[in-house]
Structure 1
Amino acid sequence: MCGMTAASPDHRADLRDILAFYAEAGADEALAEEPVDRFAAVASRPAQLPEPSARAEPGLPTTRPPARARTENPPRSAPAPARPAAAVPDEAQAALARELAGKASTLAELHEAMASFDGCNLKFTAKNLVFADGNPEADLMLVGEAPGRDEDLEGLPFVGRSGQLLNRMLAAVGLDRNSAYIANVIPWRPPGNRTPTPHETEICRPFIERQIELVNPKVLVNLGGPSAKTLLNTTEGILRLRGNWRVHTTPSGTAIPAMPTLHPAYLLRTPAHKRLAWRDFIEVKMKLRSLQG
């Protein structure tokens, strides 16, 4: 190896300045010949409990506890009690709905059964049960999907803007609420007017099916896709379904002619399609005349 020559006074001054700079920057340890993995050193170091305070309180002994006591793991606290899972409607509730609906022999009994039923979570966020409106002796029954805000407040179906348009649609073919019976597949308003879930629909299905069976109309009108899909057991969209006669079969086997048509709320958003609904209601009027004659 070559010998090291002594540094000049100028070089020593430069070295002092460099070392001072490193010290101020926090580099206060010289590098070794071999690299050191300091993370591994920290990981392998056994965990230690914090040392007790050196300052003892008056009247207490100043001796430390034995080392074994200091290195023992502290006792584990008892686990927090598990929170109960959120209530979710299940098949048992749908079965209960079918049982209650089947026992109702009148609309009044069905109304009472639905009012006492707690198996649908929508009931607990709604203000009112929206059962029906109109004439239960009418030959025409109209079924929508679910109540909105106005319907929830008043406890009657189709009383908001959609209901006002529905009234005008009925009047255009010589009908009104005294010559029709109006209900919904879902009798409780979903929060925020959200779409009912398939599970909520299945739980409420026995009630509306029994309601149709007890009214026994000559013609059924499905207002909107959800009503048509639920009561006609189809997956087709409403624009494909509308204007074509289908059949709703009650739990007892009675076949009722059904006309799927556009929901009034959809027509408020898409006024150009009112002409399609007009054609559907003309078909309904003609069907009623043929069945009454």
Structure 2
Amino acid sequence: MGADQTIDWRNAAANALDWWHEAGVDTLVDDVPRDWFAAPEPLVVPAAAPAVPPAMPVATPSAMPLSLADFLNWRSGAEVPEADWSGISLAAIGPADATVMVLVDCPDRDDGDAGALLSGASGRLLDKMLAAIGLTRDEVHLAAVCAKRPTAGRIQSEVEDRLAEIAKHHIGLVAPKRLLLLGNAASRAILGMELQAARGRLHEFNHKIAQTKAGDASDMTSVVASFHPRFLIEKPAAKAEAWKDLQMLMRGQSSQEGGQ
């Protein structure tokens, strides 16, 4: 009944191979049977490892000189943040062993022509401020956080930290008993706070260069933050507050302590 069920499988296989050969198939796909009708498995692509740039050498500033004379020479050299700025680098002036040190933000506009810090109107006001507490400019050590005046008159944020390190090192070499910070930039550099927050109280600054352990009383500088003379010229009403700051500097106690 029905068709002949006798099949020569050898001939059938040979015919199938001949057909595939004619179709161009000449290579086995797998060693085991594959279900060509099954849904394909999702392709998993390994995430590419992030490219790691080659390590670049990091330039580190050399150690700052440990004598004041060498430091002042280095301060106008090629390793300071202001080295590539335009203008004249103005060195600090005053005795190396001054009891009082004054730190401002940067030279004034006309200081470059005179070749000295605070040589104009703000300098004349500073002289009067010093005279009010029995000092002259020749008796104090006057320096600036910036040895050159920035183009906009403000210290750029990217160099603030390095300039603060340099200023603190400078103070350590002078080791003054009292330090007067004039202006916001000087207050931030040494005390790490804005002028308005720093005013009205006495601060202590450890000027010891190698601070490997707590310093004794001889390593401490009394610090007072006050208004820059150029601000007082623009805002004369603030002179009364500046006078309180000067008194606190010489008295060695804060205004709060004085009222107790």
**TM-score of the two chains, using structure 2 as the length reference:** 0.67
Given candidates 163, 182, 196, the residue that maps to 2:155 is 196
CA distance in 2, matches of 1:107, 1:230: 20
Whether contact under 8 Å (1:134, 1:180) holds in the other structure is yes
Given candidates 227, 237, 240, the residue that maps to 1:275 is 240
| Partner residue in 2 for 1:109 | 70
Q: Is there any run of 5+ residues in structure 2 with no aligned partner, and where? A: 1-57, 212-218, 254-260
Residue 239 in 1 paired to residue 196 in 2?
A: yes
Pairwise CA distance, 1:208: 1.5
CA distance in 2, matches of 1:128, 1:116: 12
| Partner residue in 2 for 1:223 | 182
Residue 128 in 1 paired to residue 88 in 2?
A: yes
Bigger helix share = 1
CA distance in 2, matches of 1:119, 1:256: 25
SS of the residue aligned with 2:83? helix
CA distance in 1, matches of 2:158, 2:85: 16
Distance 1:222 1:181, change over 3 A: same
What are the Cα deviations for residues 156-201 of structure 1, in whole angstroms up to 9, with x where unaligned? Answer: 22112111111110011111112211101111111242x1112122
Pairwise CA distance, 1:146: 0.9
SS of the residue aligned with 1:105? coil
Whether contact under 8 Å (1:141, 1:217) holds in the other structure is yes
| Partner residue in 1 for 2:228 | 263
Across the aligned residues of Structure 1 and Structure 2, the Cα RMSD in angstroms comes to: 2.0
Given candidates 109, 133, 137, the residue that maps to 1:177 is 137
Distance 1:154 1:203, change over 3 A: farther
Whether contact under 8 Å (1:134, 1:177) holds in the other structure is yes
CA distance in 2, matches of 1:222, 1:109: 24
CA distance in 1, matches of 2:197, 2:163: 25
| Count, aligned residues | 188
| Partner residue in 1 for 2:205 | 248
Q: Is there any run of 5+ residues in structure 1 with no aligned partner, and where? A: 1-91, 289-293
| Partner residue in 1 for 2:147 | 187
| Partner residue in 2 for 1:144 | 104
Pairwise CA distance, 1:259: 0.5
What are the Cα deviations for residues 207-234 of structure 1, in whole angstroms up to 9, with x where unaligned? Answer: 2222111100001111111111110122
AA matched with 1:215:
V
Residue 161 in 1 paired to residue 126 in 2?
A: no
Whether contact under 8 Å (1:138, 1:178) holds in the other structure is no
Whether contact under 8 Å (1:142, 1:182) holds in the other structure is yes
| Partner residue in 1 for 2:50 | none
CA distance in 2, matches of 1:215, 1:200: 23
Given candidates 38, 59, 63, the residue that maps to 1:100 is 63
Pairwise CA distance, 1:284: 1.5
CA distance in 2, matches of 1:106, 1:155: 23
Instruction: Give the 4+ runs in structure 1 shifted more than 4 A.
Output: none
CA distance in 2, matches of 1:274, 1:119: 34
What are the Cα deviations for residues 12-56 of structure 1, in whole angstroms up to 9, with x where unaligned? Answer: xxxxxxxxxxxxxxxxxxxxxxxxxxxxxxxxxxxxxxxxxxxxx
Pairwise CA distance, 1:140: 0.3
**TM-score of the two chains, using structure 1 as the length reference:** 0.59
SS of the residue aligned with 2:134? coil
AA matched with 1:239:
Q
CA distance in 1, matches of 2:113, 2:83: 13
Pairwise CA distance, 1:119: 4.9
SS of the residue aligned with 2:148? coil
SS of the residue aligned with 2:75? helix
